[in-house]
Structure 1
Amino acid sequence: MSEENQKQNLNKINWEDKYSSWKDWKWQIKHTIKDIETFEKLLGIKMNNREKKEIEMTIQKFPMAITPYYLSLIDINDYKNDPIFKQAFPNPKELVINKYDMTDPLAEDKDSPVEGITHRYPDRVLFHVSNICSMYCRHCTRKRKVGDKDHIPNKETIEKGLEYIRNTPQVRDVLLSGGDPFLLSDEYLDWILTEISKIPHIEVIRIGTRVPVVLPYRITDELVNILKKHHPLWINTHFNHSREITESSREALRKLANAGIPLGNQSVLLSGINDCPYIMKKLVQKLVQNRVRPYYIYQCDMSEGLSHFRTSVGKGIEIMESLRGHTSGFAIPTFVVDAPGGGGKIPVMPNYLVSWSNNKIILRNYEGVITTYKEPDNYKANLCNLDCEHCNLTLNLDEAEEIKAIGIEKLLSDYDKAISFTPNNNERMERRNNE
């Protein structure tokens, strides 16, 4: 959506005073829409009293917060069917708690060795560094925490998390999450990234954020310059619908990509929003057009108040079936169910393996073509008993040296520091060693 259209969409704002501040992300936060009256005023929408009462009850349990930018994307001519509206505006269905809904469906709190850290997988941890978001997404799996002032991690909590990472050498990958890490100040985020980067066994840092979607102006040149200092750094964002990819969000993604930061996207499959093969294919294609690799499609979690968003797993498989072979391979995310109880992400996909025997497998492709693949006759599998010390495979995993120059070639090279060769048993060298 163009800036002019955004301006027209929020035609109730006093633009003479405020439009010049539109791209100031702090102005956006300051003017976050948190009540129904402001929402109605800005979009020129009038809800009936019954609707208001039900929504007010919802807000009391699950607060509302919408950035002016994201609000401006709503199609006011059909707002109740608009995917932006559905993700941002409270729905009384959020108060419907089914018997199988859970407060913490992913058992993040149970897998937390210290406050702020979730350690579920062997070599990586989730580091909750913020519980503040620029917008409260209605499908959030962490509704129990986000926006709760009692759960905002302070510096002492962050220090405890850092100490746990320092003392856990098997951790090589740290994912900063929240809330949204980009709602921290530049200086504070820089400090956290610096402290993590100092830890010798940390190989990569990741950041999960929805800022490029709901507050793209937060991706400032200053922030990007900070992020560039901490490579290897990866960022995963959270676009759910192609209507969220606007001029402003594309500019934010461009800045990050040009800074050499690999970008991924994690979508959630949401009923009435993106549970359509055509919509999802359009989304992944627009993502790769903007140098964002589709990473995951999540089956919606079983958090309290999300049942109206949940689809069948079969719908997700149908969408995956419509992507494989029908668009570029690198545009196809992995469809996962984040297992209730903390079992982690489990990939779910259509079955392309029809059958197999000792020497042949039967496969089918996206068109329904059935084919065979002949297994090699002379392959002998290595029988692994995990006795790596006596394994006959090459287990030297050190980086190979690219060039090994010797003799005069070594002295002639510019990349080697050697300046002379001395024969063995040289008397002068022996005198030096004896001194």
Structure 2
Amino acid sequence: MDYRKHLKSTINDYLNIKDNIKTGIERKEEIEKNKKVILEKLNGREEDWKDYKWQLKNRIDNAEKLKKIFPLTDEEIKEVDKVASVYRFAISPYYLSLIDTKDFKDPIKLQAIPSGKELIGHGDLDPMDEKGTTPVEGITRRYPDRLIVKVTNQCGMYCRFCQRRRLIGETDHHIDRNTLEKDIEYIRNNEEIRDILLTGGDAFMLSDSTIEWLLQELRSIPHVEIIRFGTRTPVTLPQRVTDNLVNILKKYHPIYVNTHFNSPAEITEESKEACEKLANAGIPLGNQMVLLNDVNNDPMVVRKLNQALLTIRVKPYYIFHTKPVKGTEHFWCKVEEGLDIMESLRGRTSGMAIPTYIVNGPGGLGKTPVLPNYLQYIGRDKAYFRNWNGVPFEIENKFDDIE
């Protein structure tokens, strides 16, 4: 057997299709054209585009603004209006520029622009029972040694599948200083807590001065070992990752950042620059992809995404099974789809590109990993497995005690 040909045959299906799955970097010219149109419509300049505050101020947050910039049918405009009366939306000009207007099922469009499907179906606004696992306002705690602090409801773009859409409201607001001080005091009084995740909303939506104050306070607590930020700004608002923000973060190591790329189309020159700024400051980056119908429930799309993420120094960390949030049923996938993706990655790409597939237990039961079954069974003296390519093998599972 020609072993080289055999190995190549195991990934030929991916090699034959990968060039058709475009990253934002590979769509650079098209995105640049979209950007020029959006700047013209918003009376903006190149300097404005690079300013995250301008991006926030000019978020597209109603159907009237959207139809002036983006080609939607009259029916789609009616849907946007109808959904927006129930679930708020806002899209940064940057993220809007990534949409392929010729693709009805463009993954950026599906994540950003409201659909009438949000008003039908089942689900719960708080399926993980964050309310029931909140010891003090702003904190969710499900595990013994770690917790999350929700510091704001603001995001650069409000994802249509958001697990916390119940908290978005109609206006942006950060958690007030008094509440944050109580959260810090709770952490200070529970010495088993060693790991803090600052999230929201998006934790990078806080001002630089507030972020530094929070980091100073948390670093003054002896038992706090690591601090993590949950942020989608490298994806939806990469301009937010400024030199000043990075210089603040690197003073308080160990700092980790978990971000949230769901599609190769989100990996652009700007997002690459944002991630590399953080990585160059010694901040490890992990990606938490949500499994979404028609966006990434395809093994080839996820392989392209994860391999591209490694090139911008982001480690694929989790694939989250879609949570049953009310208004998001059109994004839901079957567990088998996630398992198929995991099966397709093992052995066909580097281990660095393989995340952990996670199902969240309802009602706050926490993260539960799901893996393809490589262990077939355990006998009296041997354990029986199959490898990534389906080949069975066994190992000795008997060891005599040494006296």
TM-score by length of 1: 0.83
Instruction: Name the residue aligned to 2:57.
Output: 30
Match of 1:41 among 68, 72, 76: 68
Match of 1:331 among 342, 353, 357: 353
Instruction: Name the residue aligned to 1:354.
Output: 376
Report the CA distance shift for 1:360/1:194 in structure 2 as closer, same or farther (over 3 A).
same
Q: Following the alignment from structure 2 to structure 1, what is the Cα–Cα distance between the partners of residues 72 and 287?
A: 35
Instruction: Name the residue aligned to 1:137.
Output: 159
| Pairing of 1:414-429 with structure 2 (within 5 A) | none
Cα shift at 1:14: 2.5
2:288 maps to 1:263:
no
Report the CA distance shift for 1:375/1:46 in structure 2 as closer, same or farther (over 3 A).
closer
Cα shift at 1:4: 5.9
1:83 counterpart letter in structure 2: P
Q: Following the alignment from structure 1 to structure 2, what is the Cα–Cα distance between the partners of residues 4 and 372?
A: 52
| Pairing of 1:114-133 with structure 2 (within 5 A) | 114-133=136-155
Instruction: Name the residue aligned to 1:51.
Output: 76
Match of 1:66 among 68, 84, 91: 91
1:217 counterpart letter in structure 2: Q
Kept in 1: contact 2:79–2:114 (CA 8 A)? no
Which SS does the other structure have where 1:106 is aligned? coil
2:257 maps to 1:198:
no
Q: CA RMSD in A?
A: 1.6
Report the CA distance shift for 1:379/1:208 in structure 2 as closer, same or farther (over 3 A).
farther
Which SS does the other structure have where 1:346 is aligned? strand
Q: Following the alignment from structure 1 to structure 2, what is the Cα–Cα distance between the partners of residues 370 and 4?
A: 48
* 1:228-280 superposed Cα distances (whole Å, 9 cap, x missing partner): 01100110000001110000000001000000001100000000000000000
* 1:54-74 superposed Cα distances (whole Å, 9 cap, x missing partner): 321101111110000000000
Instruction: Name the residue aligned to 1:406.
Output: none
Match of 2:115 among 91, 95, 104: 91
Report the CA distance shift for 1:90/1:46 in structure 2 as closer, same or farther (over 3 A).
closer
Report the CA distance shift for 1:378/1:326 in structure 2 as closer, same or farther (over 3 A).
same
1:279 counterpart letter in structure 2: V
- Runs of 5+ in structure 2 lacking a partner? 1-23
Q: Following the alignment from structure 2 to structure 1, what is the Cα–Cα distance between the partners of residues 116 and 144?
A: 40
Report the CA distance shift for 1:313/1:379 in structure 2 as closer, same or farther (over 3 A).
farther
Cα shift at 1:358: 2.6
Structure whose alpha-carbon radius of gyration is higher: 1
Q: Following the alignment from structure 1 to structure 2, what is the Cα–Cα distance between the partners of residues 240 and 321?
A: 19
Which SS does the other structure have where 1:354 is aligned? strand
Q: Equivalent pairs: percent with the same residue? A: 49
Match of 2:266 among 227, 232, 244: 244
- Runs of 5+ in structure 1 lacking a partner? 381-435
* 1:295-342 superposed Cα distances (whole Å, 9 cap, x missing partner): 100000011111110010000000000001111012100001011111
Provide the aligned length of Structure 1 versus Structure 2.
375
Report the CA distance shift for 1:46/1:123 in structure 2 as closer, same or farther (over 3 A).
closer
State which drifts further: 213-222 or 148-157: 148-157
| Pairing of 1:17-416 with structure 2 (within 5 A) | 17-43=44-70, 45-48=71-74, 50-78=75-103, 80-98=104-122, 101-149=123-171, 152-379=174-401
Which SS does the other structure have where 2:330 is aligned? coil
Higher RCO, 1 vs 2 (CA within 8 Å, ≥6 residues apart): 2
Q: Following the alignment from structure 2 to structure 1, what is the Cα–Cα distance between the partners of residues 170 and 147?
A: 22
Kept in 2: contact 1:146–1:178 (CA 8 A)? no
2:80 counterpart letter in structure 1: I
Which SS does the other structure have where 1:121 is aligned? coil
* 1:324-371 superposed Cα distances (whole Å, 9 cap, x missing partner): 111101210000101111110000111001111232100001111100
Q: Following the alignment from structure 2 to structure 1, what is the Cα–Cα distance between the partners of residues 264 and 55?
A: 22
TM-score by length of 2: 0.90
Q: Following the alignment from structure 1 to structure 2, what is the Cα–Cα distance between the partners of residues 107 and 24?
A: 37
Q: Following the alignment from structure 2 to structure 1, what is the Cα–Cα distance between the partners of residues 38 and 214?
A: 40
Instruction: Name the residue aligned to 2:40.
Output: 14
Kept in 1: contact 2:76–2:115 (CA 8 A)? no
Q: Following the alignment from structure 1 to structure 2, what is the Cα–Cα distance between the partners of residues 104 and 144?
A: 8
Cα shift at 1:41: 1.7
Report the CA distance shift for 1:123/1:12 in structure 2 as closer, same or farther (over 3 A).
closer
Report the CA distance shift for 1:67/1:165 in structure 2 as closer, same or farther (over 3 A).
same
Report the CA distance shift for 1:361/1:145 in structure 2 as closer, same or farther (over 3 A).
same
Q: Following the alignment from structure 1 to structure 2, what is the Cα–Cα distance between the partners of residues 222 and 147?
A: 30
Q: Following the alignment from structure 1 to structure 2, what is the Cα–Cα distance between the partners of residues 358 and 379?
A: 16
Which SS does the other structure have where 1:191 is aligned? helix
Report the CA distance shift for 1:91/1:21 in structure 2 as closer, same or farther (over 3 A).
same
Q: Following the alignment from structure 1 to structure 2, what is the Cα–Cα distance between the partners of residues 328 and 66?
A: 34
* 1:75-121 superposed Cα distances (whole Å, 9 cap, x missing partner): 1122x2100000000011111141xx112111111011000111110
Q: Following the alignment from structure 2 to structure 1, what is the Cα–Cα distance between the partners of residues 331 and 242?
A: 33
Which SS does the other structure have where 2:245 is aligned? helix
Kept in 1: contact 2:67–2:77 (CA 8 A)? no
2:205 counterpart letter in structure 1: L
* 1:134-193 superposed Cα distances (whole Å, 9 cap, x missing partner): 110001000100245497421111111101000000100000010001001000111011
